[in-house]
Amino acid sequence: MKKYQLLFLLLIPILFTSCRYSKEPKVFSNDKVSIEYPSYLFKSNDIYPEPNCIFQAKNDYRDVYFILVDHGQKPGEKGFEMMCDSILNQLKRNMKEPKIESQDSSFTINNLKAKEFQISGVLSSEKQDHRFLFVVDVFETTDGHIYQTAGWLLRHKRQLWLKDLQKSTHSLKVKS
């Protein structure tokens, strides 16, 4: 009996430490870009099945998702604004009860022109409806190349992971 108690006492710390995530972010990098993302997200290929999606990560247990999309060169002089409007309108069309959570904010980060918006809405799956919050950033390089990041999570869990998604988004760096 004492053997089992000792074994049990040894397993508890192992189980506890194996379920913890590192505070250090992971890094995705290719020949064009690099971006940091939380250690509790895991690389995936089934979130956004488009060829221009260059990075995808998720945690199904926490219902947190993150993608990085390469849209290529902007389409014309007003291409950046057109892309922002197109992405926002596409999101609105694909959800029920869309609600703008925060006004668009424009800023410059890591030498990239950026625009961020947050929108929530109901997404349906089999016999379930969930209100998700999306934080979407569109970036333009000095030569007119456009990248997009998008992170989403259950809206009622935004206090837990929204800041992590925004930190990831703002860590995007384009290599020269």
Q: What is the mean pLDDT of the chain?
A: 88
Percent above pLDDT 90 for the chain:
69
Overall fold of domain 26-174: Protein Transport Mog1p; Chain A (3.40.1000)
Over the stretch 72-87, which tens digit does the pLDDT of each residue have? 998 888 999 999 999 9
CA separation for the pair 64, 134 (Å, rounded): 10
Instruction: Return the bridge partners of 125, or none.
Output: 128
| pLDDT bracket for residue 168 (50, 70, 90) | very high
- State the amino acid at position 142 in one-letter form: T
CA separation for the pair 54, 16 (Å, rounded): 34
SS3 2: helix
Q: What is the pLDDT of residue 12?
A: 60
Over the stretch 62-116, which tens digit does the pLDDT of each residue have? 999 999 999 999 888 899 999 999 999 999 998 999 999 987 889 999 999 999 9
State yes or no: pLDDT of 58 exceeds 60: yes
CA trace torsion 45, 91, 69, 57 (10° rounding): -40
- Tokens for 167? 């930190």
State yes or no: pLDDT of 18 exceeds 50: no
